[in-house]
Every structure is written in structure tokens, then in C-alpha cells.
Chain A
Amino acid sequence: MIRLTRDVIDYHALTEKVRRGDCGAVVLFLGTVRDLTGERVTVALDYEAYPAMAEKKMAEIESDTRTRWPVGEIILEHRLGRLEIGDVSVAVAVSCPHRAQAFEACRHAIDRLKELVPIWKKENWADGSTEWVHPGA
């Protein structure tokens, strides 16, 4: 299951949703808003997406992850809009029969999401300036 949302990510509910009797391992990854990048202080991040393509790419990541590992259930959820320090921006919850599979599947899904899904963040620095984050550009 994949979802873009402007609401708070309820990662407890999301973790419960992936739990299954045939899965002995659940891994949850949370991306949260960090206060420092190097020596620069962040006040907030603004996330925007190209929603149709973001949802398509997230669904492809789900199905790709399912073909590589024996996933019981997987949820990828990304929040959009203004987020403050400590807020959860992204969650990936995965259940598998065994822990190594669950760790690997979760790692794969979040790595691919960060690489492929058209979502961007804008830094709102403490000095009042803003800056879109475009790695390598």
C-alpha cells in the first residue's frame, strides 16, 4: 500500500497494519525532520510532489520489493506540506517471515523512494532564507 498525505503519519497504526501471523519480523523506517545540516539550522521543511507520478513510482517500488523478498505486507507513506523539526516525513513498514528479509526489503524500499520518487523538499533556514534541495545540482 502506498500513500501521499498532508496529515500526520500515524506510524503506530501503520506498523499494526503490516503485522501478520505468517510474518515473524516487522521493520519500520521513519524519516524525520532534522534540525542541522552541517552547521546550518533548519526551522521547517516544505515538501512538494508531482503526485500522479510519485504515486505511480511508489507503487512500482512496492511491487519491485515484493518480487525480491517474501513480503507479507508493505506500506510506503510520504507526507507533503510544511513539516517542523522532529515531524515524520516518510514511513516504510514491512513484514516478512524472517528479520533479514524484512530489514533488506525496508532498506531497498526507502533507498529506491529517495532515488526515484518525484518529491522535493525546501529548507527554511533559521536566518529566514529558503533553498530547494536538489542533490548534485
Chain B
Amino acid sequence: MKVMLFARARELIGIERLEFEESMTVGELRALLERRFPKVAGLLKKSAIAVDNEFAEDALQIPAGAEVALLPPVSGG
């Protein structure tokens, strides 16, 4: 899967997208991101995760090849 990063999350991690080979749930991805990038832990807790352009719950198994996105609280308008 690829994980797209936006706004403050992208700036804190310093890259626009991450790639993972492992199969995991959304909740497991959250835990992995928190371990690997402790500085985004606070923002991560407030962020949504989208899988293939839809908001996803932690229990969802991420399909192979999915486009995942880490979405910090939105501020459009």
C-alpha cells in the first residue's frame, strides 16, 4: 500500500508518501506510524485515515495495493 501524507503531517514526516509491503488493518497502520514517527503521534490521534478515498475505521483490513491517506483535521472553506 501507499500512504499519502498531507499538511502538517507531511511537513513533520518530511515526505509526501510512504510505502508498506505488509498487510495490516487501519489500527495497525496507526500504531506503526506512531512508533516510526513519534513526533506526529499527537496529530495522528486527531487524524482520519482514508482507504481508497473513503474514511476508514480502525478494524478495516487494508486491501493490497490500496491508496491510503493520513488526513489531519481538515480546514477548508
| Known pairs A90-B76, A114-B76, A120-B74; A53 contacts B53 (CB<8 A) | yes
Instruction: Find chain B residues with CB under 8 A from A134 CB.
Output: 7-8, 43, 46, 72-73, 75
B31 vs chain A, min Cβ distance (A)? 18
Q: Which of B47, B69, B72, B76 has the most CB of A within 10 A?
A: B76
* A contact residues, total (Cβ < 8 Å): 29
Identify the closest chain B residue to A56 (Cβ): B53
- Check A113 against B72 for contact (C-beta < 8 Å): no
Interface residues of B (CB under 8 A from A): 4, 6-8, 11, 42-43, 46-47, 50, 53-54, 69, 71-77
Does A135 have its Cβ within 8 Å of any Cβ on chain B?
Answer: yes
| Interface residues of A, dominant DSSP | mixed
Can you report 12 residue pairs joining A to B where beta carbons are below 8 Å apart?
Answer: A49-B76, A89-B77, A113-B77, A115-B74, A118-B76, A120-B7, A120-B76, A121-B75, A122-B7, A132-B75, A134-B7, A135-B75
**Top 10 closest A-B pairs, CB basis?**
A119-B76, A137-B46, A133-B75, A132-B8, A120-B7, A53-B53, A114-B77, A134-B73, A132-B7, A134-B72
Interface residues of A (CB under 8 A from B): 31, 47-50, 52-54, 56, 78, 89-90, 110, 113-122, 132-137
A11 vs chain B, min Cβ distance (A)? 15
- Check A137 against B69 for contact (C-beta < 8 Å): no
- Check A53 against B76 for contact (C-beta < 8 Å): no
